[in-house]
Structures are given as structure tokens and as C-alpha cells.
Structure 1
Amino acid sequence: MDKLISVVIPIYNRESTLQKCVDSVLAQTYDNTEVILVNDGSADSSEEICRRYEQADSRVSVINKKNGGLSSARNAGIDKSRGEYIFFIDSDDWIDSDTLEVLLNAALQKDTDVTGCCVYFNFPNGVEDSRASDEIYIQDTRALIKWMLAGSIYANAAWGKLFKRSIFENLRFDESCDFCEDDEFSFRMAHIAKGYLRIADAKYHYLQNSGGMVLSGAYISEAPINVMSKIESDPIVAGDPELSKLAHKKKIAALHTLYVKYLRAGDRRNAARIAHMMRELVLKHGYCGISKQMQTRVMLMRSYPLARFVELSAIWLRGKKYSKKSA
């Protein structure tokens, strides 16, 4: 088992977490690796940290580029890579010491194009939530699309997965997509992948920001809505009632997330616009299996003050929940 694995780490202003990430990769039990650090125009000391690793370990190489976003950084890493397999890890995350060995063994055993693992969610307050689950093995395009539409957003993540190099012969990340790029990429990947495996063990540690960037309102992009519209119109999805329902359900969730971000930002006009889009979707396709709680939230959108109170209270209570766990 002498397959070269290229580990691509996109980096933007991650001086506080980068060392833990890179150290976890260099300490792998499987050592036939090259580690490509892609510094995407960082303004902190990330570049200096990268250079130190490059000088200390022959497996490490550094790409310095102007800031172009996550997709651009990943594509730069793919272009430079030489491995038969490519593994992505975000620069604020880390992996268990046997992650690459376990994933490669599984990939070779079942000859899969994409092999991933379950995830630990790690919070800044020290809480660690393991999401170990059953093994998932899929060989059919429709079944893979269904799995991605029905699963959590992390089912579509590029990080934590070992990709066979052939996947990237005619596939790259869409650099025009500034948010939700993993969903867009994974959906296109599902059309060409020959075998998808998620092992049952959790090996990847995902550092969850407090409150989460998704709900923080710090950055608002409508790209997730555009991505879901693209998925809805895909011939395989549009022509399949079950897949179509799952796509509509996921779009409702994406609209709700965007709505909450506009609420947090105090942007009443855009919040009302997104609420209207969600109501139109529900009127046309129904609730598509969303929870009773979500149905209530959709109905509350008719009252901006009440909806804002409910949604912001939910975020506050979620934060209190994890504070209690760490106490």
C-alpha cells in the first residue's frame, strides 16, 4: 500500500489553529503523503508558519497566492498535487493519527472514488460531540444524490474525504461560488463518482465556531439559494418526485438560515423578501417533510418582530446549552 496521498490545506488567517491542524497531518501513521499548504492571501502570520513547516519537513510545500476564496485555494492545491488520492482538511480542524491509513484501506478494499469518515464536532468551550454512525456504501448515482439531499450539510463537505485523483480529471470547485461551495461541488461529483463510502468511525475533528458562522450574520451570501435552485432543476432531481421533495426541503432550510441571518443583521427588507420566497415555495410544493417546529417558524414570518424574537431566542438558548455542558 504505497499510494501517495496529497493533503490539501487551504489557509486564510488561521495563525491560532494552523499548527494543530498541520501537526495532526504530519503525525499520521500512513506517511507516504505530500502536504500542500495553500496560503490564500492571509494577513496574519499564517504564511510564516507555513514556511517554517516547509523548511522543517520535505513532505510539505507552500503555495502563496492572492486571496481568491476557499474554492480557488483548493483548486490551486489540486493543480499542484501529485498523489493518487487527494484529501482536504480545513486549517482550523484536525484529524486522528490513523485517519489517512484507515480511509485508504477502506477505499482500496471497496474500490471507491470517494471515502469519508464520521465527524467529531469540537466547540471552543471544550465540548466534543461525536457523530459516529453506521457505515454508508453507495454505488448508484441516484442513491448518492438522495443521501446528500437527505443528510446533514456535512454529508456534502469536501473536507474529511479521500478522493481518487480521477475524480478531478474534469472537475474543480466553482470559484464563482462564494458560499455553500461544498454542496455545489458534491452534487456535481455525485454524477461521476464510482462508489462512495463513509466509514462508521469518527476520525475528523471539526471546530465549530461559537454560534456558528452560518447564523452569526457576520457574512451574508445568497449563494446557498442559488445552489439549491440549480440542484432543483437538475434533470435527475426534477424528474424524480422523491428527490425533488428532498431538494425543496433542503431549499426551505437554506432560506430559513438566510432569513435568520438577515434578522440578526436587522435587515428587515431582505428578511421580508426571503420570507416571501419561502412562503411561495411552501405554497407551491407544501412543507416537504420539514419539522412541525420549522412549519411554525415559517408561519411566524408574517410578523417580523415576533419572528425576530423567536429566532434570536433560539440562538441564545442554543448557546446556553453548550455553556452548561462545559461547566
Structure 2
Amino acid sequence: MSGTHVQTGEQAETHYSAFGVPVRLSHAADPLERDRRLRWLHHGAELFLASRAIPRSGLCVEVGAGEGWFSLPFACAFPDWQVLCLEPDAAAVTRLEANVAALGLRNVTCLQAGLHPDLPDIRPAADRRNAAAHLAVERQEKPFQRLVALGHRAEPVPEGTEGAVEVLPALPASALAGLEPDLLVFDAPGAEAAIAETMRTAPTGFLLGQLYAHVRSGLFNPADETAPRQYYLECGEHVLRRDFEDNFPDRRPRLDVVVAMYNTREFIEECVDSVLADGNPDIRVLVVNDGSSDGCEQLVAERYAGNPRVVLLNKPNGGCASARNYGRQKSDASHIAFIDADDRVDPGLFSALLEVARHTGTFVAEGEFQFFHPDRPADAQLVPSYEAEIYTMPGDRCIGPHHYTWIPGDAIAVGQPTIWRRIYRRDFLDRKKIYFPEHIRAFDDQIFQLLVAQYCGALAHVQGHSYHYRQHTAQDIKQGDERHFYSFNMFRAVILRSLDESWPRIDMVVQSLLNTMGWSYSGLRNDLKGIYREAAAAFVTALEKTYGYHIEPHRLRETGIEGLDFLVERRLQEMQNDPVSYGIMRLEDWRWQPELIRMMQSVRR
């Protein structure tokens, strides 16, 4: 915790404790810089390392060490570690050395040097104990931009401002890779990307640092995906970290996009190419061939032969839900996404979602979507979705070039099921047991969306990148047949789960149910509307008698199902002497089963 502060002229002294060790530190009389250093130490570095099993000994290199805010208590707490402090400012190095002497530390070496991205690569001697001496020979004088503290963060002083640039001793980032530190700590504005690149091949297990510019998150992962690495990198209000994968050591830090493919030879190339278009090596496409018979399997095998970013998986036909689940089970990625084989995406969609997901740690990140009408003129093929009228304001947060805002789970629960323009954290889906129901052959994404909405709390809505939802006559939603009755199965499964888990409220589930019934009824064939009306009345009645949850008649009329409010009221009167019971929703009704309805319709015909 932060301790006492004593100031004398341009120098100050702070007593604080970190890693269980009390420290007295002399430093420049800059309270904003002091608070920034202590906040990062206590709320970032200390908590991160306290939750990690670090080795008993090793090499810690801190770039931008200042007066030793991090390094000195770390060296005291871990005396078997060697600590190398790099600091470009001469006055800070003088105070750092004095602090080392005052604490009697023999495992700390100081060197006046910063990291500069515009220096040729070097590989210092492998002798870690003499590394400072070897590095001192390699230093060059280079211009550095100073920092200014702003509350709990710091930013480079703008160029052109008096005193913004100083000429100081510098080393290339490649010096770090040569040292092969076990723990790297850095505060090096302008050198973040160079550090990330050079550490890709280093066997460094822990990274701690501050980012003053956006660096693609995947660069901080080791080139060898099997190599263990943990990191905590602050970037403004965001933190880039790897902690939610700790319980899944076999997961790789990437995104797998699962494409469920069944007889879509006409569209599959455009679909896969759109995902691959931005060349992000952290994104793979898993094409699951669900027993196709039109040759699309051979097309994918030949078209993407030798491409490590495309994996073809074959299985017997089992429906879209089974194909999606199969792809997910075969994936070893930390994040997962699902896309229909007849759709496509903006080239940067999944890269943007992955970047926002990694920096925020969100369970779910989504992009926008547009309706894609390929039969129209080129300038009229893409039509913005209904969201265009809702999310018109610019994203109130940003990560590099990506603007986003937070959307509550309730909002997506009552909207159109759009599971395909989102990416999900695998650990979130696994722990909440969210899968696609394989016994349902249509609209299986609805229950998936409802469960995600219930558990995610909120999701990151990223603007400026869209999914293209192809419109054509073969879509399930345009058939108007018995498949629409599958929705009752899905809502029944969600409600039973809410009972088993004692959800405190089901308002969003009820509203989604009413929206779905109204939408399905409006597109049904006329010969099915009577049965659907009875099915809806039976379902609403069962819901009310299960929960004691009353749905106002005007909400039932808003569905557009003629006489639904009357039918529900009549059924409730017939059951007025029956107690409210959680068991009622567990009873079956033939009107909720598409197979039975299809059979009866066939007999009638």
C-alpha cells in the first residue's frame, strides 16, 4: 500500500510497501508521477504476480525503471533473482543507484539506457550477470519523448512542446531478446511494438508493462503457441492480459471461426475468403462439412490445400447445430465464432472483434450486420440492419482504431438472433454450458443467443465492421412451414433452465418469446396459423401457471396473433383451481412438436 511522502526541494522520499517488503525510496518531487507509479505497482504488477507461481530464481529486466519503484521491492522480496534496471534519465539513475545502496541490494544492476525502435539489432553476451557491461558498450545517443502524467495514466508530451524531446542513451529492443529475461517489465513509450516483435521468439514467461500506443495484441504472444506466457499490459483504461485461459492450458491464443457447410458450393469460397482477407495469423477458419453432396467438400480441399489458416472437417449430416458444436469441439482456440457458409464479412470484422475482446476481457464482442441482397445493383446490395437506428452514436470507447460501446444483455435478448457476427470466449461458453441444441433442425441459434444474453451481463458492440447476412429464397426463415414451431422447444428449454438455476427474473425471455411468436406467425402459411395460435396459447398459459407470471392482454395483442389474449384467458379460467407449479412447463404439448404437426398435415392432405 502507499505510505508516507516527505518532500525537500526538488527531491522527495516515499515510504511504501510492495511484495510484502517495506521500502524507503528517494525520487523526483513529482506527485503525479509518484501516484502513477504506485497505482500501477499496487493495482497492476503486484496483484498480477501475486496470483502467479513465478520461479524461485531468474532474471528480471525493467525498462524505464525510474528510481526503482517496482524493481527494488521485487529484488528485496526475491533475493535469488537478478534484476537489471534500464533507465535513460541520468538524474533518475543517480537516485536509483543511491536507493540500491541504501537497501544494501546485491542482486540489482543499473544502466543508463532506454529502448529506441530505430536502432540496428544486437545480441548481447549470454552471461546475464555481466549483461549490463556488454550493453553499455552498445549504447547510442537517440532522441526520446518525455511523458506527462494525467491522473492515473501518462501520455507522451506532444512534439513541438518545449522540452518534449531529450537526447539520451539508447539500446535497440533486440537487446532484450538476447538477454532472454524470465520477467520483463517495461515503460517505454514509442518502443512497444518493437518490444512485442523482439519478444516473440524469446522464452520469457512473464510480461508486465504499459502501452502508450495501440499494438496488435497477438504480437505479445510467443511465436511458439505451446510456450507458456502470461502478461499484464495496461493501455489507458484497458488491460491486455492472459488470465482467463489459465484453466485451459491446451487452448491457443487465437480465434477459430466455425463455418457450418452443407451444399453451399456456390457461396463457400466467398465466405472463407472474406474471413481470411485481412491476413491476421491469429484467426483460423474451421470449415465443417456436414455431409454435403454438391461437391463443396472437394472445392474447399483443393482451393485451400496447404493453407494453415483453413481446416476442413468432415462429419455425417446432422444439421447446422451439430456442425457448429463439432467445429467448436475440434477447436483449440481461446475464442470462437460461428458463420453461415452462405454469408460473408467485412475483411476486418473478426480482427477488430478479437482486438476488443482481448483488451477488455469481455465474454462476447459483436460487430454490426447488414442484409446482403446479391440480386440488386452493386450500390444497393447492402442494407443496414434495424440497429442502424439504435446505435447511431459513435462508440464512446476505443482501442486503437476500433470504437465500441457496451450493450446490456437484455438488449440483445429481445433482438434478432444474430449469433454469427459475434466472437465468444471459450471458457465463458464452456462454464455456462452453452451449446446448440442438436435435436432442433432450424432456428437453433435462438436458445444460444438467449443464454448468452442471460449470462454475459453486457457485450462490446464494435462499430464500423459488418457481417453480410445473405438474403435468398432458400433461407429457413422464409419457408413459413412447420419449422417455426421449433421456437417453442427452445423457449421451453430456456425456461426449464431458469427454474433449475433459480434465475431472479425472466422478463427478457418473455419479451423475446412474444417477439418471436409475432414474427413467426406473420410469416406462416395460412394452413398453419390456426395450430400456431393454439400452440402459442398453450405455451403462454403453461408459462403463467409455472411462474405465476402474468402477461398483460395488450402485450399478447401486440404479437398480431388474432384472439391470443382470449385463448389464454379461457385456458387460465379452466385452470384457475390448479396451483402454480414448476412442474407444468415440464409437461409436453403436441402443438410444440414440428414433426407431429408435419405428420398431421400430411394425413389431412
TM-score strictly above 0.5: yes
Q: Supply the distance in 2 between the matched residues of 1:239 and 1:192 (Cα, whole angstroms).
A: 12
Structure 2 residue 423 is the aligned partner of structure 1 residue 169: no
Q: Supply the distance in 1 between the matched residues of 2:511 and 2:426 (Cα, whole angstroms).
A: 33
TM-fit CA distance, 1:228 = 2.1
TM-fit CA distance, 1:47 = 0.9
Which residue number in structure 2 is paired with residue 200 of structure 1? 463
TM-fit CA distance, 1:237 = 8.8
TM-fit CA distance, 1:219 = 5.4
Query: After the TM superposition, which of the residue ranges 17-26 and 207-216 deviates more from structure 2?
Result: 207-216
Structure 1 vs Structure 2: percent identity of aligned residues?
Answer: 23
Q: Supply the distance in 1 between the matched residues of 2:279 and 2:319 (Cα, whole angstroms).
A: 31
Q: Supply the distance in 1 between the matched residues of 2:472 and 2:529 (Cα, whole angstroms).
A: 26
Unaligned regions of 5+ residues in structure 2, if any?
A: 1-216, 219-252, 394-403, 567-605
CA-based RMSD of the aligned residues comes to 3.2
Please give the per-residue CA displacement for 1:17-67, whole angstroms capped at 9, x wherever unaligned: 111101111212423222211000112121111211341412211111111
Matches within 5 A, 1:239-318: 239-240=504-505, 243-244=506-507, 246-260=508-522, 262-264=524-526, 266-267=527-528, 270-271=531-532, 273-274=534-535, 276-277=537-538, 285-287=551-553, 289=555, 294-295=559-560, 297-299=561-563
For these two proteins, the number of residue pairs brought into alignment is: 288
Note if contact 1:124-1:210 (Cα within 8 Å) is conserved in structure 2: no
Note if contact 2:352-2:462 (Cα within 8 Å) is conserved in structure 1: no
- CA 1:94 to 1:268, structure 2 compared with 1: closer, same or farther past 3 Å? closer
Which residue number in structure 2 is paired with residue 148 of structure 1? 412
- CA 1:53 to 1:195, structure 2 compared with 1: closer, same or farther past 3 Å? farther
More strand by share: 2
Please give the per-residue CA displacement for 1:245-297, whole angstroms capped at 9, x wherever unaligned: x4333323333344445534x346624534654886899522464785x44x5
Which residue number in structure 2 is paired with residue 320 of structure 1? none
Query: After the TM superposition, which of the residue ranges 200-209 and 74-83 deviates more from structure 2?
Result: 200-209
Which residue number in structure 1 is paired with residue 406 of structure 2? 137
Which residue number in structure 1 is paired with residue 486 of structure 2? 223
Q: State which of 368, 372, 378 in structure 2 corresponds to 1:118.
A: 368
Give the TM-score of the pair, scaled to structure 1.
0.75
Q: Supply the distance in 2 between the matched residues of 1:51 and 1:188 (Cα, whole angstroms).
A: 35
Q: Supply the distance in 2 between the matched residues of 1:92 and 1:72 (Cα, whole angstroms).
A: 17
Q: Which runs of 4+ in 1 moved over 6 A?
A: none
Q: Structure 2: which amino acid aligns with 1:270?
A: I
Q: Larger Rg: 1 or 2?
A: 2
Give the TM-score of the pair, scaled to structure 2.
0.43
Note if contact 1:34-1:83 (Cα within 8 Å) is conserved in structure 2: no
- CA 1:147 to 1:253, structure 2 compared with 1: closer, same or farther past 3 Å? closer
Which residue number in structure 1 is paired with residue 355 of structure 2? 105
Please give the per-residue CA displacement for 1:187-224, whole angstroms capped at 9, x wherever unaligned: 33345447521213342111122495324225524221
Note if contact 2:485-2:532 (Cα within 8 Å) is conserved in structure 1: no
Q: Supply the distance in 1 between the matched residues of 2:470 and 2:339 (Cα, whole angstroms).
A: 11
Q: Supply the distance in 1 between the matched residues of 2:331 and 2:419 (Cα, whole angstroms).
A: 16
- CA 1:298 to 1:9, structure 2 compared with 1: closer, same or farther past 3 Å? same
Q: Structure 1: which amino acid aligns with 2:463?
A: A
Which residue number in structure 2 is paired with residue 128 of structure 1? 382
Which residue number in structure 2 is paired with residue 83 of structure 1? 333
Q: Structure 2: which amino acid aligns with 1:85?
A: H
Which residue number in structure 1 is paired with residue 312 of structure 2? 62
Unaligned regions of 5+ residues in structure 1, if any?
A: 303-327
Secondary structure of the corresponding residue to residue 153 of structure 1:
coil
Q: Structure 1: which amino acid aligns with 2:406?
A: Y
Q: Supply the distance in 2 between the matched residues of 1:167 and 1:5 (Cα, whole angstroms).
A: 14
Note if contact 2:267-2:342 (Cα within 8 Å) is conserved in structure 1: yes
Q: State which of 240, 262, 265 in structure 2 corresponds to 1:15.
A: 265
Note if contact 1:85-1:164 (Cα within 8 Å) is conserved in structure 2: yes
